[in-house]
Amino acid sequence: MKKIIRGLLAATAVMAPVMVAQADVANKTFLADRGTISNNCLLSMSACAKKEHNKDAIGADLSVTGFYRQSHNKTKLAKYFGGGTNAAPAGNIEVAAGTAATTALNSSDIQLATAADAATIDGVVGLSPRRIEAGAHIQWNQCLNKFVKGLWMSVAAPVVYVRTEMRPDFTVSTPDAAGKTLADFFTGANVTPAAYELATQAPLANQKLTTTYNSATGVADVKAAVGYKFVQEKDYSFGGSIHALIPTGNKNAGDVAFEPTYGNRSFFFGAGLDGQFNLYRSEDKTSSFDMHACAKYSYGFAAEQVRTLGLTNDANGDYAQGQYRTVAKIATWAAMPLANVSTLAVTVEPRSRLEAVAGFCYRFNRFSVDAAYNLFYAQAETVKAKAAWDETLYARTTAVVLDANVDENDEAFATGNSTRGGLILSNGVTTNGNSVTLAAAATPAQVIHGVGAGVGYSFETKMPIRIGGGADVNFSSNNHSVNSWAVWAKLGFSF
């Protein structure tokens, strides 16, 4: 509770700096989605029910909204997951021949090399990430005036189908002597050179770039709220509410890049304020023009997830695409991409989120038209390791360190010799060496702007029914979030 109070007091101060454009980032292994319920805030408020005056009514309203949402910022997402540096994100994954690259992978970084190897894999992988979400947003609003005047409650839950795809382009790729290409490496095929007698390189098992889409279906969180209208006048009202988000989404496993996750995986709790104002009402009461606004703060508590750690160097900074670089297990002949062993259980704490909506609604008889602006802010995630990284277990490999007939004297990656790649240390260890980094697995702060509009029509039947539809689009100044457009159709009942 203290965290929530401190967050509420600091919300205004926090929002000022985050509204300033933030820089893009690169070489990330995970991007947290905003969450379906939050992303559907405009559609849940569109085509709202009229007040029910039937003396037999129980004050309930049920709505089911079918929606389709698709990302539109593929270029920014490519820079988020691609190589380069934070100052100059590449938007692709480059694998340079030899050892010349400084802000990209080298061919020797993803494939064991010997002096006898005639060729190694190199080239460029183009990325074009896309996320699609479709489903039904179900919401129950209940007036509790019979108990306490002004009291209400609400429950919302979306049933969703989520589909993600990186759409990698492997056409620019030079094969090695055995005909293996970048497509083989990034999709998880064996790329160990045939000349090796002892050393083996395990295929990529995590953060793979699949050429087909990945999908998941389920209930993306449940949100429950209780509110109270403490001012109710003819032309205006003010109220407050408390709300909780119950995580029911799926668990990410880290086996593919840009995994299809739905739900936040963390429990959120918060509070909000809202107000409604009548700006115009005709004398015959057939038409009106109203304004509404709300601001809600939530705090996300820590929960276990699976994320893929990256690789950094205390002298030179983060390695581009560090999760794909080959490492070897000490005192063995086994090598593997870092992602195979750095995809681990971590504790993720989303922390503060702030959502605000301001909009207008015009009603004429049974018709309604509404438009609104939405602001979403999410604090940068805090990611902590669940278990200590074993600093004696893995070392980086370097180019051309093996002979075709390897033995224990030539097997540099099996010794952890600092001149031959060096041991990989724990996150945050600063000894001028290589270490895993949790930063690659943490989503930075997000600021998303959204606008939406909808129309509605009410049928004056014994049980009032309404239909509606609309669309929204959201955008950000940086590449830290999935920006999307959506369309929806709503059916609602009041009884």
pLDDT in tens, 446-465: 999 999 999 999 987 777 89
Tell me the three state secondary structure of residue 8.
Answer: helix
One-letter identity of residue 226: V
Q: Return the pLDDT at 416.
A: 40
What is the average pLDDT across 303-307? 96
- Detail the DSSP E strand segments found in 282-407: 287-300, 303-308, 310-313, 317-318, 326-329, 334-337, 343-349, 351-364, 367-378, 382-385, 394-396
Greatest mean pLDDT among 325-334, 392-401, 414-423 lies in: 325-334
What is the average pLDDT across 300-318? 92
Under 8 Å between Cβ of 338 and 207 = no
Domain ranges of the chain: 2-494
For residue 112 the two structure tokens come to: 């064991």
Under 8 Å between Cβ of 495 and 461 = no
Q: Return the pLDDT at 289.
A: 95
| CATH class, 2-494 region | mainly beta
Tell me, rounded to whole angstroms, the distance of Cα 27 from its chain centroid.
15
Return d(Cα 37, Cα 179) in angstroms, integer: 47
- Quick: pLDDT tens for 118-132: 567 899 999 999 999
- Quick: pLDDT tens for 206-256: 999 999 999 999 999 999 999 999 998 989 999 999 999 999 999 999 999
Sign of CA dihedral 108, 112, 113, 119: negative
Return d(Cα 416, Cα 397) in angstroms, integer: 9
What is the number of alpha carbons within 13 Å of residue 108 lying toward its C-beta?
20
What confidence category does residue 398 fall into, taking pLDDT thresholds of 50, 70 and 90? low
Q: Return the pLDDT at 103.
A: 85
**DSSP codes, 456-474:** EEEE-SSS-EEEEEEEEEE
For residue 41 the two structure tokens come to: 């805030």
The answer to which of 114-123, 187-196, 292-301 has the lowest mean pLDDT is 114-123
Residue with tokens 């007036």: 143
Distances (CA, A) of 279 to 285, 358, 435: 13, 14, 60
- Quick: pLDDT tens for 328-347: 887 777 889 999 999 999 99
For residue 486 the two structure tokens come to: 């959506």
> What mean pLDDT value characterizes the chain?
87
Sign of CA dihedral 75, 488, 447, 344: negative
What is the average pLDDT across 89-114? 84
Return d(Cα 440, Cα 104) in angstroms, integer: 15
- Residue 393 CB partners (closer than 8 Å, separation 6+): 329, 330
What is the average pLDDT across 160-173? 96
Q: Return the pLDDT at 19.
A: 47
Q: Return the pLDDT at 410.
A: 40
What is the average pLDDT across 261-276? 95
Return d(Cα 163, Cα 260) in angstroms, integer: 6
For residue 169 the two structure tokens come to: 């382009």
- Quick: pLDDT tens for 362-384: 999 999 999 999 999 999 999 99
Q: Which of 376, 335, 370, 334 is nearest to 355 (CA)?
A: 376
Return d(Cα 147, Cα 144) in angstroms, integer: 6
What confidence category does residue 13 fall into, taking pLDDT thresholds of 50, 70 and 90? very low
What confidence category does residue 415 fall into, taking pLDDT thresholds of 50, 70 and 90? very low
Q: Return the pLDDT at 50.
A: 63
List % helix, strand, coil for the chain (3-state, nearest 5): 10, 45, 40
Tell me the three state secondary structure of residue 5.
Answer: helix
Tell me the three state secondary structure of residue 431.
Answer: coil
Q: Return the pLDDT at 313.
A: 85
How many other CB atoms are there within 10 angstroms of residue 365's CB atom? 10
What confidence category does residue 12 fall into, taking pLDDT thresholds of 50, 70 and 90? very low
DSSP character at residue 89 = B
Under 8 Å between Cβ of 27 and 458 = no
Q: Is the pLDDT of residue 481 over 90?
A: yes
Higher-confidence position of 320 and 196:
320
What confidence category does residue 63 fall into, taking pLDDT thresholds of 50, 70 and 90? very high
First to last CA, the chain: 36
Compute the residue count for the chain. Answer: 495
Return d(Cα 333, Cα 329) in angstroms, integer: 7
What confidence category does residue 134 fall into, taking pLDDT thresholds of 50, 70 and 90? very high
Nearest 5°: phi and psi at 342? -105, 10
- Quick: pLDDT tens for 239-251: 999 999 999 999 9
The answer to whether the predicted template modeling score (pTM) of the entire model surpasses 0.85 is yes
Q: Is the pLDDT of residue 54 over 80?
A: no
Q: Return the pLDDT at 51.
A: 57
**DSSP codes, 282-297:** -TTSSEEEEEEEEEEE
Residue with tokens 């270029």: 75
Edge-to-edge strand list for the sheet holding 317-318: 317-318, 310-313, 434-437, 424-425
Q: Return the pLDDT at 441.
A: 97
What confidence category does residue 411 fall into, taking pLDDT thresholds of 50, 70 and 90? very low
